[in-house]
A = this chain, B = another copy of it.
Amino acid sequence: MKGNTFFFSSAPAVVTSAAVGGKMEGDGPLSRYFDKINEDPFFSCDTFEQGESKLLKEAVIHALGKGELTSEQIDVMFGGDLLNQCVGTTYGIRDLGIPFLGIYGACSTVTEGLLLSSLLVDGGYVSRALAVTSSHFCAAERQYRFPLNYGGQRTPTSQYTATAAGALVVSAEKLPPFVRAATVGKVIDMGVTDAANMGAAMAPAAYSSLKQFFADTELSPDFFDAIVTGDLGKVGSRLLCELFGRDGVDIRDLHMDCGTMLYSFDEQDVHAGASGAGCAASVLCGYFIPKLRSGEMKNILFAATGALMSPTVNAQGESIPAISHAIWLSGEAGSLPDIRFAKRTVH
């Protein structure tokens, strides 16, 4: 670890990944990148919560299938979601029989799972580690805000929780993309109290971790094909670019945000964009990882972002802390000296 960043000398590989979504995701511009779209928000279950568990399990099953793997070949699984006590995950995977370590990073969960999976593979502790997360619009709305039946109005800064799940498997095989480095985020709380403006709460966390990554790796933003955030949406994305702008660093042409990619602002009523743990996870697993594998993209810096609020403490007047972990995914394995040679520092 240098600074807050882990460097993976063995370059652990994301060997398979899958994304599963709901109707809204199927109607959006990234529809064709999903392995499966479910039109039924209940996923043929009795409740939305059971539906989310099924959604998450489907992502795991698809990822295993695409990698021609069985659950017995997974040494450890990292997973978590937005539902209280992470029941989307634990009920979804309970019959798979895979050793399990629960994680909670709100919408940053996919990067935490990828980071820990990469560490265990890089350290030679496991042959294969799986990371998974999900979110479900209907289950999240009634837990975090209001039951859908209430018909509550949403403010312009609010984001639409994705009904989506992403799963990926990391192993030591020489199959791109590779995980080259990862920066562990700190909990950042700038005092935002509006639970309908998660983008504003999370942008400083993304800024903190990305800046730390650049400092620790001595890489500059333009080394990357894209700097991708999880679900800052329109508001948070603008704030992130402004924060970098204050440092004299213009990332506007490089920056992409899963929350602004998942839905069509023109055709879908999503206000400031998408959110939810499944947003960053499905866009990473369905869109970016395949593009890195095919060579269409060479290097991305992926920083999912999580708002660590709870309705209870928010109602007590608390502000919203956030966290973001930044992960460098690359089409090439390479060792650290090559990286240093390739870097183009602009500072």
Q: Which of A's residues lie within 8 Å of B, judged by CB?
A: 1, 4, 6, 46-47, 49-50, 75-76, 80, 82-87, 90-91, 93-95, 97-106, 112, 115-116, 119-120, 122-123, 125-127, 143, 184-189, 308-313, 316, 318, 321, 323, 325
Contacts and interface: CB of A to CB of B under 8 A. Distances in A.
B308 A90 contact: yes
Given A84-B310, A104-B104, A187-B94, A6 B116 contact: no
Copies of this chain, count = 2
Contact of A83 (B91, B120, B143, B310): B310
A276 to B, nearest CB: 13
Given A91-B321, A94-B321, A99 B312 contact: no
Given A100-B187, A102-B105, A185-B100, A312 B87 contact: yes
Given A6-B125, A84-B312, A102-B103, 17 more contacts: A1-B75, A1-B125, A1-B127, A50-B313, A82-B85, A85-B104, A87-B308, A87-B310, A90-B323, A94-B188, A97-B186, A98-B186, A100-B184, A100-B185, A100-B187, A101-B325, A119-B119
Nearest to A85: B310
B112 A123 contact: no
6 contacts: A50-B316, A87-B312, A87-B313, A90-B323, A100-B184, A123-B125
A90 B125 contact: no
Contact of A84 (B49, B80, B84, B95): B84
A211 to B, nearest CB: 14
A59 to B, nearest CB: 17
